[in-house]
Structure 1
Amino acid sequence: MPYINLQITKGANREQKARIVKDFTETLVTVLGKKPEHIHIVIQEIEDENWGFSGILTDDFRKREG
């Protein structure tokens, strides 16, 4: 029973999340031969201030890029 836990920063809309679930499911069916009804996908949205990379928080990075 495949389980995918996808963590992203906040901002994806429902349509985008539905596309992710559809595409990830199709990939596991095609590549691993899994049954769609056995695939579980959880999308966790993380606040920008709780995500960091390259030594800074994402909200600070976005302020610089903005």
Structure 2
Amino acid sequence: MPYINVQITKGATREQKAELVKDFTASLARVLGKKPEHTHIVIQEVEEQDWGYAGLLTDDWKRQQAED
């Protein structure tokens, strides 16, 4: 039973999430021969203030990029 856990910062639409699930499922079927009906995918959305990147919280990093 394949299991994929995807963690992203909040903001993806339902349609975008559905596309991710479809694409990951298709990739597992194509590359590894896994049955789609046995594939589980969990999408966890994380607040930008709870995700660090390049030594900064993501919301701070984005603000810094916008200022540059």
Give the alignment's TM-score, normalised by structure 2.
Answer: 0.94
d(CA) in 2 for partners of 1:21, 1:8: 13
Alignment-derived partner of residue 55 in structure 2: 55
Where do 1:1-40 residues align within 5 Å?
Answer: 1-40=1-40
Is 1:64 the counterpart of 2:64? The answer is yes
How many equivalent residue pairs? 66
Identify unmatched segments of 5+ residues in structure 1. none
Report the aligned-residue RMSD.
0.6
The structure 1 segments of at least 4 consecutive aligned residues displaced by more than 4 Å after TM superposition are: none
Give the alignment's TM-score, normalised by structure 1.
Answer: 0.97
